[in-house]
Amino acid sequence: MTVKVWRGDKNGGAYQGFDVPRQDNQTVLDVVSWIQQNQDPNLSYRFACRVGMCGSCAMMVNGTPRWTCRTHVNKVLDANTLVVAPLRNLPPIKDLVADMDPFFDKWIEAGGHHNPSASRYDTMPQIAPDDTKRAVANESIECINCAVCYAACDTVAHNDNYLGPAALQRAWTLYNDEKVNDTDAVLAAVSGKGGCHNCHSQGSCTLYCPNDLNPMRAISGLKAATIKHHIKGGR
């Protein structure tokens, strides 16, 4: 098959073609690794676990953001050709490596860090697995931070301030977490200029999430929660 790989850096780049042998059960990450090991050791790309847990190997494959370690070539090969590029909506560092800083900076901006509401001397809160809020929080905790949703989102592409689906989904998880006391702070963090209200509900995040999560629903939840909070007199 023909594999076109984007080569370049933040100043620009171009696609370079490689001929790669087809194999059974070959993933896109296998293809990129084969090129790096057999054709060009200078090719830069990122991966770690190879089994869909770490979220580091996401790339654009034939124009679609995907986790490459779990994407089989036979599912995405188009006219015997693969086009592989760094993730959209993030600045490229080199070749297939995108700079993840904006993604994680926004994660922090959306309040995606733990603000403990109890000390070690307090008793642990008892949270039943079938608790309604816990069930909502559970829906999103399998996010692996691969940034596929961020690359898929057209609102991110057009609005530099927008926090993006992953960060907002994290905020929604925290909002529903019994262990987070200051939920007003969570809502304030997602009500600003780049907040959840910029979402157009196009649903690319949910369509492309490799873990079948639903960031669009999480963002809808945040919109509803912020509206209720606003009507009650909050920010």
Partner 1 sequence: MDIRLYMAQRLSAIIMIPLVFGHLGVMIYAIQGGLSASEIMSRTQGSVFWFMFYGLFVIAVSVHGAIGLRTIMSEFLRLNDLALDAIMWGFGLVSMFMGARAVSAVTWL
Positions touching partner 1 (CB under 8 A) are 155, 158-160, 191-193, 195, 197-198, 223, 226-227, 230, 235
Q: Given the DSSP bridges, would you call strands 97-98 and 12-19 parallel, antiparallel or unpaired?
A: unpaired
Mark out the alpha helices in the chain (DSSP H runs): 28-38, 73-76, 101-109, 132-138, 148-152, 154-158, 165-175, 183-189, 204-208, 215-231
Q: How far is the CB of 188 from partner 1 (least distance, A)?
A: 10
When the beta carbons of 45 and 150 are compared against partner 1, the nearer one is 150
Q: How far is the CB of 189 from partner 1 (least distance, A)?
A: 12
Q: Does residue 219 contact residue 165 with C-beta atoms inside 8 Å?
A: yes
How far apart are alpha carbons 52 and 40 in whole angstroms?
Answer: 25
Q: Given the DSSP bridges, would you call strands 2-9 and 81-85 parallel, antiparallel or unpaired?
A: parallel
When the beta carbons of 4 and 229 are compared against partner 1, the nearer one is 229
Q: How far is the CB of 201 from partner 1 (least distance, A)?
A: 13
When the beta carbons of 71 and 198 are compared against partner 1, the nearer one is 198
How far apart are alpha carbons 90 and 139 in whole angstroms?
Answer: 26
Q: How far is the CB of 192 from partner 1 (least distance, A)?
A: 6
When the beta carbons of 65 and 195 are compared against partner 1, the nearer one is 195
Q: Given the DSSP bridges, would you call strands 92-94 and 97-98 parallel, antiparallel or unpaired?
A: antiparallel
Q: How far is the CB of 132 from partner 1 (least distance, A)?
A: 25
How far apart are alpha carbons 58 and 39 in whole angstroms?
Answer: 21
Of the candidates 15, 31, 32, the one whose C-alpha atom is nearest the C-alpha of residue 23 is 31
Q: How far is the CB of 229 from partner 1 (least distance, A)?
A: 9
When the beta carbons of 39 and 159 are compared against partner 1, the nearer one is 159
Q: Does residue 5 contact residue 96 with C-beta atoms inside 8 Å?
A: yes
Of the candidates 100, 98, 101, the one whose C-alpha atom is nearest the C-alpha of residue 85 is 98
When the beta carbons of 19 and 160 are compared against partner 1, the nearer one is 160
